[in-house]
């Protein structure tokens, strides 16, 4: 790591550790959800690296959430065990689904993943035992560790920060490893990659399973804080938010999606006063970005620089 | 036995709505290669028009139906001009634009109708047709299915017997070759989305007195339309109509004997199976990318 990166990161973490103490209660809540959402978008990025945009990521988050919630509630098993289990379960479901889903590409994959996700979500609604139906399941136990009260937002925020940091770091390493580079190759030069012996099917599956695993963990983190898990939390509406975050932030670099999630979540907080209008503003933002700034927010500095240079050149 | 016949009749009537809703999706995808996620919302706007103009302000039903069709067609044409046309050649971009549009249309509906419980529209055609002594069909449903069949018949005539229809089919087969033959792909795109949106508006207007109207009703519509489109074969209009009838019968049966949610789950599973086993659907041909 370069010295500048180290400096920047330590500054960021110092700020993040101090920040919650200066916030109001609902702002602390907001910070926790934002941190979890960062893991959601970063894990989604891994899935999209191969060029296939799935519409099942939100439901995979739900698979992790339900797994952790139901196991810890019904079998009285500690959160520290159910958290990794949530990831494993989401990964397994993804592995199972990959057989039918990856027989499709592009349009078919999109619709297929939407259908599979919706079928899973409707299963949670239909089978009141054990999932709890439309209202979901509540009274999910919160984590226990020594005497820390994880019902309070600040300790839970630190927990989330640690878990998310580790996961995001792992995802970062995966993307920059040989596997990640191969995934890029599968996306941009799929046929060429196959011709040099890359099994594209396996790599697509790998990305899908790993992405789902991490988003499963994110789901568990979320519901153990709220205390309730319900099908509504993981519907197509939330999936669309994930898409919006990634697109508005920019999907060409690793940090683009994070920028999108942070900026739009803050916008979302500001719009809290005009609850009814919120979806429309989101929709308009999405359309604006895809039409006029397809590179997302991350491409903005470069765009502005280019503009300046062009102006200077035309002036001389 | 009576329940059986009644279920078949209900299913057949339901299939009219599915066909009308799915046709637009198929046409737009065929011609522009865009999955219009906001298509369910077009149906919803059609239904809201009936609620607002007919039920709230007392304009006669039939006039409002025409109004709903015109309004939804206009929205469709605007979407083509400002969203799908700039996104030509970028299916993902078009899809995302339509998702943005979906939110905007839902918010407009919420503003017009306000929050709160779903709206109901009293059926303009009262009374019930009774056949075979026990099978009951409200006249409203008789009217709906008759109009749906007429609309589909006109569409079929338009697509197979007129020059415009040939152009539409030519573009959905091969956009470039059609353009080389001097067909204006932009004009054909406008026709496709115009016709598709008109059908969606009609579906919404016919559905309005028979269902609960709320800003999120488009969700169920789009799921049904996806299932019908995939099972029928992407880009195939006859396939979509056949699949509508099959799926509506299936859904009505499972809903009657089990539950609506199970019906939708099994519909989605069938759709995934079709995608695996026969991605071209019952009537479709492979879509080249």
d(CA A199, CA A197): 6
Structural domain span for residue A50: 25-234
Residues of A with a Cβ under 8 Å from any B Cβ are 53, 100, 103-104, 106-108, 110-112, 114-116, 118-119, 122-123, 125-126, 236, 240, 243, 247, 276-277, 279-280, 282-287, 290-291, 294
Does A311 map to a domain?
no
Cis peptide before A263 (omega within 30 of 0): no
CA-based nearest residue to B286, from B238, B234, B231, B241: B234
Nearest CA in chain B to A287: B97
User: ipTM score here?
Assistant: 0.79
Mention every residue, 6+ apart, whose C-beta is less than 8 A from residue A216: A60, A61, A63, A64, A65, A67, A86, A87, A88, A89, A90, A91
Given a contact cutoff of 8 angstroms between Cβ atoms, the answer to whether A280 and B104 are in contact is: yes
Q: Given B86, B106, B107, which is nearest A291 (Cβ)?
A: B86
Does B8 map to a domain?
no
Does A275 map to a domain?
no
Chain segment B11-34, per-residue pLDDT in tens: 888 888 888 888 888 888 888 888
Chain segment A121-169, per-residue pLDDT in tens: 888 888 877 887 777 777 777 777 777 777 777 788 888 888 999 999 9
Q: Given A110, A123, A290, which is nearest B97 (Cβ)?
A: A290
What is the per-residue pLDDT for B129?
78
Does B133 map to a domain?
yes
Does B184 map to a domain?
yes
CA distances (Å), B1 to each of A183, B4, B13, B138, B245, in order? 58, 5, 19, 20, 21
Does B262 map to a domain?
no
CB–CB contact A276 B110 (8 Å):
yes
CB–CB contact B268 A236 (8 Å):
no
Confidence of residue A49 (pLDDT cuts 50, 70, 90): confident
Mention every residue, 6+ apart, whose C-beta is less than 8 A from residue A71: A77, A82, A85
Tokens of B47: 């239904």
How many angstroms separate the CA of residue B39 from the nearest CA in chain A? 14
Chain segment B225-268, per-residue pLDDT in tens: 888 888 887 777 888 888 899 988 998 888 888 888 888 888 88
The whole-chain average pLDDT of chain A stands at 83
DSSP, collapsed to helix, strand or coil, labels residue B136 as strand
Does A276 map to a domain?
no
Does B126 map to a domain?
yes
Does A258 map to a domain?
no
Confidence of residue B289 (pLDDT cuts 50, 70, 90): very low
Is any Cβ of chain A less than 8 angstroms from the Cβ of B95?
yes
User: DSSP 3-state helix, strand, coil percentages of chain A (rounded to 5)?
Assistant: 80, 0, 20
Number of domains chain A contains: 1
The pLDDT of A164-183, averaged and rounded, is: 85
Does B81 map to a domain?
yes
d(CA A141, CA A145): 12
What is the per-residue pLDDT for B288?
43
The pLDDT of A240-265, averaged and rounded, is: 84
β-strand pairing of B128-131 with B135-138: antiparallel
What is the per-residue pLDDT for B286?
52
**Most confident listed range (A6-20, A32-46, A295-309):** A32-46
- Residue B39 confidence (pLDDT) above 80: yes
Chain segment B147-199, per-residue pLDDT in tens: 999 999 998 888 888 888 888 888 887 888 888 888 888 888 888 899 999 99
How many angstroms separate the CA of residue B225 from the nearest CA in chain A? 11
Burial class (CB in 10 A: 0-12, 13-18, 19+), B129: exposed
Chain segment B59-113, per-residue pLDDT in tens: 888 999 999 999 999 999 999 888 888 888 777 788 888 888 998 999 999 888 8
Does A229 map to a domain?
yes
The pLDDT of A248-258, averaged and rounded, is: 82
What is the per-residue pLDDT for B282?
67
CB–CB contact A283 B99 (8 Å):
yes
Tokens of B243: 């699949």
The pLDDT of A172-183, averaged and rounded, is: 82
What is the per-residue pLDDT for B284?
61
- Residue B218 confidence (pLDDT) above 80: yes
- Residue A255 confidence (pLDDT) above 70: yes
Chain segment A80-98, per-residue pLDDT in tens: 888 899 999 999 999 988 8
CB–CB contact B100 A290 (8 Å):
yes
CA-based nearest residue to A185, from A196, A177, A193, A197: A193
End-to-end CA distance of chain B: 49
Confidence of residue B117 (pLDDT cuts 50, 70, 90): confident
Chain segment A217-237, per-residue pLDDT in tens: 999 998 888 888 888 888 888
What is the per-residue pLDDT for A217?
92
Chain segment A264-297, per-residue pLDDT in tens: 888 878 877 777 788 888 888 888 888 887 777 7
Number of domains chain B contains: 1
What is the per-residue pLDDT for B78?
92
Instruction: Please state the separation of Cα A154 from the chain's center in Å.
Output: 22
């Amino acid at each position: 790591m370069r010295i500048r990166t180290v400096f920047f990161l330590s500054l960021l973490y110092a700020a993040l550790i101090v920040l919650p103490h200066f916030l109001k209660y609902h702002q602390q809540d907001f910070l926790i959800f934002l941190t979890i959402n960062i893991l959601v978008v970063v894990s989604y990025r891994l899935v999209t690296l191969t060029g296939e945009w799935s519409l099942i990521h939100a439901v995979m988050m739900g698979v992790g959430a339900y797994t952790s919630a139901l196991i810890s509630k019904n079998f009285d098993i500690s959160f520290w065990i159910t958290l990794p289990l949530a990831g494993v379960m989401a990964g397994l479901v993804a592995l199972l689904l990959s057989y039918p889903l990856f027989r499709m590409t592009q349009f078919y994959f999109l619709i297929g993943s939407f259908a599979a996700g919706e079928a899973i979500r409707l299963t949670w609604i239909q089978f009141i035992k054990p999932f709890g139906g439309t209202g979901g399941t509540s009274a999910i136990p919160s984590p226990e560790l020594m005497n820390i009260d994880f019902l309070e937002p600040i300790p839970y925020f630190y927990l989330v920060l640690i878990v998310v940091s580790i996961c995001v770091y792992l995802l970062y390493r995966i993307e920059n490893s040989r596997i990640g580079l191969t995934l890029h190759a599968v996306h941009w030069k799929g046929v060429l990659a196959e011709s040099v012996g890359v099994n594209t099917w396996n790599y697509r599956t790998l990305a899908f399973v790993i992405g789902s695993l991490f988003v499963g963990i994110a789901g568990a983190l979320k519901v153990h804080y709220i205390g309730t898990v319900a099908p509504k939390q993981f519907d197509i509406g939330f999936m669309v938010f994930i898409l919006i975050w990634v697109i508005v932030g920019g999907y060409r670099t690793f940090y683009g999606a994070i920028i999108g999630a942070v900026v739009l979540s803050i916008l979302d907080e500001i719009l809290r006063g005009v609850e009814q209008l919120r979806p429309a503003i989101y929709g308009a933002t999405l359309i604006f970005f895809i039409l006029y700034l397809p590179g997302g927010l991350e491409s903005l500095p470069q765009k502005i620089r280019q503009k300046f240079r062009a102006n200077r050149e035309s002036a001389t | 036995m009576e329940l059986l016949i009644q279920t078949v009749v209900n299913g057949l009537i339901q299939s009219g709505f599915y066909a009308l809703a799915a046709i637009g999706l198929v046409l737009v995808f065929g011609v522009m290669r865009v999955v219009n996620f906001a298509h369910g919302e077009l149906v919803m706007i059609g239904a809201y028009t009936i609620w607002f103009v007919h039920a709230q302000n007392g304009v006669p039903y039939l006039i409002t139906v025409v109004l709903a069709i015109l309004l939804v067609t206009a929205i469709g044409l605007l979407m083509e001009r400002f969203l799908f046309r700039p996104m030509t050649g970028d299916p993902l971009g078009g899809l995302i634009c339509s998702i943005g549009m979906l939110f905007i249309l839902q918010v407009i509906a919420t503003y017009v109708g306000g929050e709160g419980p779903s709206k109901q529209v009293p059926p303009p055609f009262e009374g019930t047709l009774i056949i075979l002594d026990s099978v009951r069909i409200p006249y409203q449903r008789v009217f709906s299915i008759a109009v749906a069949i007429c609309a589909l018949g006109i569409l079929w005539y338009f697509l197979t017997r007129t020059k415009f229809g040939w152009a539409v089919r030519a573009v959905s087969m091969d956009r470039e070759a059609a353009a080389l033959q001097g067909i204006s792909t932009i004009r054909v795109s406008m026709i496709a989305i115009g016709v598709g949106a008109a059908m969606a508006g009609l579906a919404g207007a016919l559905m309005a007195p028979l269902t609960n109207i709320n800003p999120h009703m488009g969700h169920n519509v789009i799921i049904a339309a996806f299932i019908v489109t995939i099972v029928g074969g992407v880009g195939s209009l006859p396939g979509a109509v056949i699949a509508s009838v099959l799926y509506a019968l299936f859904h009505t049966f499972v809903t009657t004997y089990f539950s609506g949610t199970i019906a939708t789950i099994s519909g989605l599973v069938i759709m995934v199976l079709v995608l695996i086993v026969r991605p071209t659907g019952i009537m479709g041909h492979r879509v080249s990318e």
